[in-house]
Chain A
Amino acid sequence: MNDRNLESKDLSIEVADLTVAYGDKPVLWDIDLNVPKGILMAIVGPNGAGKTTMIKSILGLVKPAAGRVLILGKPYHKQRHLIGYVPQRGSVDWDFPTSVLDVVMMGRYGALGWVKRPGKKERDMALEALDKVGMKKFSDRQISQLSGGQQQRVFLARALVQEAEVYFMDEPFQGVDAITERAIITLLRELREAGKTVVVVHHDLQTVPEYFDWVTLINVRRIASGPVDEVFTDENLKTAYGGRVAFISHRKQEANEHVDIGEDRE
């Protein structure tokens, strides 16, 4: 498959034989994945396909049963300072007593190191990031007073101040308004222009070709991974979603008709 010809120095993420199991139930099975630098990649797949688990196991939040992950050529724990992470918005309690600015500054905690408190520099970085996501005037607001879209922007701003090379975002478009969706996609494109790699767990198949360069389809196993116009085919979608997918694309089908899942796997 096309990611085979990529050389290691062009890759931002290399995943080999990644297997994750909860108890004896496999959640991810023998995943191989090579992601080049400077692209926007979507991870798609049905509910329970292991999309979130894949991100979490790459980040070391879930311990894989087997497998190897390299970020920019080195193991994850050596590259933490190069990674930005946006967890699912619903994974935290937004009634926590803190302000928008404070949450964004948490993105600097990794660079700050132990014990040290955030200061003016962190404050300025956080305000700048909030400005980028259009939330500067909300910086003093208590986080429980934010709408869903605003919460998502705050999380994005927090990832921005991490000044990472590789970003992982878990469903950033989940339940946000149209304006926020546009704002997010503009931001993602800016990150790509700056040479960053962005991996996004995505659930809206319709927008995949418009928003992303690359796509990885998974359903416990990796179904396909590569440039959107090569691997985002009806056939691969059917394999991933078990034929239940109502989405029929209007893209040119002919060029992709030979893509066979059997060839995908190495």
Chain B
Amino acid sequence: MELFGFLGEIITDYTLRTVALGSAILGIISGALGSFAVLRKQSLLGDAISHAALPGIAFAFILTGIKSPIILIIGAAVAGWFGTLLMLSVIKNTRIKTDGALGLILSTFFGFGLVLLTYIQKQPQANQAGLDKFLFGQASTLLQSDVIIMGILGAIALVILMLFWKEFKILTFDPDFGESIGLPIRLLDILITFLLVIAIVIGLQTVGVVLMSAMVVAPAAAARQWTNHLGLMVVLAGIFGIIAGVSGAIISSVGAKLPTGPIIVLCISLIVGISMLFAPNRGLVWNWIRRRINRHRLHLEAVLSDLYELTLHHERRDHPHSVRALETMSIGGGEFVRNSLRELQTKGWVKNVSGDEWALTESGLAKANDLVKERQV
């Protein structure tokens, strides 16, 4: 009942509706483009772009004196793009490697952006307040006009992504091969980086420059856990982005007016944590269970074949052997020998002759024989 009331509120309440819609757009775009960034091992590029965008936002405001979202977004995009190019040229022309160049550009631009923000705040103008929300994001300040701009830019980015889907796929998987069949790999590289810049700048007002990179990396990392299919991964990352974006933005705007960025990041981190642990095949829990089952099977087989070896030393196949002998034979202590024998007994492959003395049964003998043959192959 309460939930329905809340959902109804989202649809009717102007602020909530705007916030939810804006966060959904930001979530799906950053999730989709972030998937390619992660697969191209450029996860941290998003961090550099978002931090580099801050001085652009400040500059756009200083130059125009207007706080219109489109102007700030253009400023952010230009600075983010410029930072990216500068970083790539540092990597190309100096001995500084990617991680060093990232740190350098990120901190320089961000520091410069903070200085500009402080400068703006000291200006005697009425409307300078509010630029600092770009640091950690404030979803409740989203206006319908902001969301429309986010929607248009995001839609353009998604359409381009779908249009050149197979080209981007080959750029990500095997750029050398792509170039050999005549694809303009460098141009595609620039195009997809540009799309990433768009994805980041449309999220800045909501999530903030400090934590925006989480929305690039986390949904993609979570999605990768659940699927081995690129298309599905991008869709899933988009969905995870929407879930985190919407829930984070709503929590922050209805609650204690917390900055949205940190709460969205906490939401997506929860999704990442669940995915890392519980996703089938790649999840840690799954792996742990699989390893346990494997180890268990190996223990059983080891005891069975050890007993088989002892049996071969004797004329009589049902000659019993002591647990101690088996324990000495087994590698790694052999604490598991007794348990394994008991389990082999329930399978009918060994029998307890007396006390600690065990022997193979007929079917156990055949099974061990198969096992040894299998290993020889």
Residues of A that sit less than 8 Å from B by CB: 56, 59-61, 77, 80, 83, 85, 87, 91-93, 96-99, 103, 106, 109-110, 112, 114-115, 117-118, 142, 144, 158, 162
Contacts and interface: CB of A to CB of B under 8 A. Distances in A.
Interface of B: 39, 41, 163-167, 169-170, 172-174, 176-183, 224, 227-230, 232-233
Contacts of A98: 169, 173, 228-230
A97 B233 contact: yes
B228 A110 contact: no
A114 B187 CA distance: 14
Nearest to A59: B180
B166 A87 contact: no
B230 A61 contact: no
Contacts of B176: 56, 61, 85, 87, 91
Given A97-B39, A98-B230, A118-B166, A106 B174 contact: yes
A92 B180 contact: no
A63 to B, nearest CB: 11
Contact of A83 (B169, B180, B183, B232): B180
Nearest to B182: A80
A117 B162 CA distance: 11
Nearest to B162: A115
Nearest to B233: A97
A60 B179 contact: yes
A83 B183 CA distance: 14
B43 to A, nearest CB: 14
B177 A85 contact: yes
Contact of A109 (B163, B170, B230): B170
Contact of B180 (A61, A93, A142): A61
B277 to A, nearest CB: 19
B228 A142 contact: yes
B174 A97 contact: no
Contacts of B164: 114-115
Contacts of A77: 182
Contacts of A112: 166
A106 B179 CA distance: 12
Contacts of B183: 109-110
A97 B170 contact: no
B168 to A, nearest CB: 11
A127 to B, nearest CB: 18
A191 to B, nearest CB: 17
Contacts of A61: 176, 179-180
Contacts of A114: 164, 167
Given A118-B166, A142-B228, A96 B182 contact: no
B166 A91 contact: no
Most buried by B among A87, A93, A109: A109
B92 to A, nearest CB: 12
A97 B180 contact: no
A87 B178 CA distance: 11
Contacts of A96: 39, 172-173, 230
B109 to A, nearest CB: 29
Given A61-B180, A98-B229, A93 B170 contact: no
A112 B224 CA distance: 28
Contacts of A60: 179-180
Given A59-B180, A85-B176, A109-B183, 7 more contacts: A59-B179, A61-B180, A87-B176, A96-B173, A97-B39, A115-B163, A117-B165
A97 B229 contact: yes
A152 B174 CA distance: 14
A108 to B, nearest CB: 9
Nearest to A106: B170
A59 B25 CA distance: 42
With most chain A CB atoms within 10 A of its CB, the pick from B173, B181, B224 is B181
Contacts of A56: 176
Contact of A93 (B173, B224, B227, B230): B173
Given A77-B182, A80-B181, A115-B164, A87 B228 contact: no
Contacts of A109: 166-167, 170, 178, 181, 183
A80 B180 contact: yes
A83 B176 CA distance: 14
A115 B163 CA distance: 6
A242 B169 CA distance: 43
A103 B229 CA distance: 12
Nearest to B173: A96
A85 B174 CA distance: 12
Contacts of A103: 173
A204 B245 CA distance: 55
Which 10 residue pairs are nearest across A and B when measured between Cβ atoms?
Answer: A110-B181, A142-B228, A85-B180, A80-B182, A92-B174, A96-B173, A97-B228, A59-B180, A97-B230, A87-B176
Contacts of A118: 166
Nearest to B224: A97
B210 to A, nearest CB: 30
B226 to A, nearest CB: 10
B160 to A, nearest CB: 11
Nearest to A141: B228
B269 to A, nearest CB: 22
Nearest to A118: B166
B17 to A, nearest CB: 35
Nearest to A117: B166
17 contacts: A59-B179, A60-B179, A83-B180, A85-B181, A87-B176, A91-B176, A92-B173, A96-B172, A106-B169, A106-B174, A109-B170, A109-B178, A110-B181, A114-B164, A115-B163, A142-B228, A144-B228
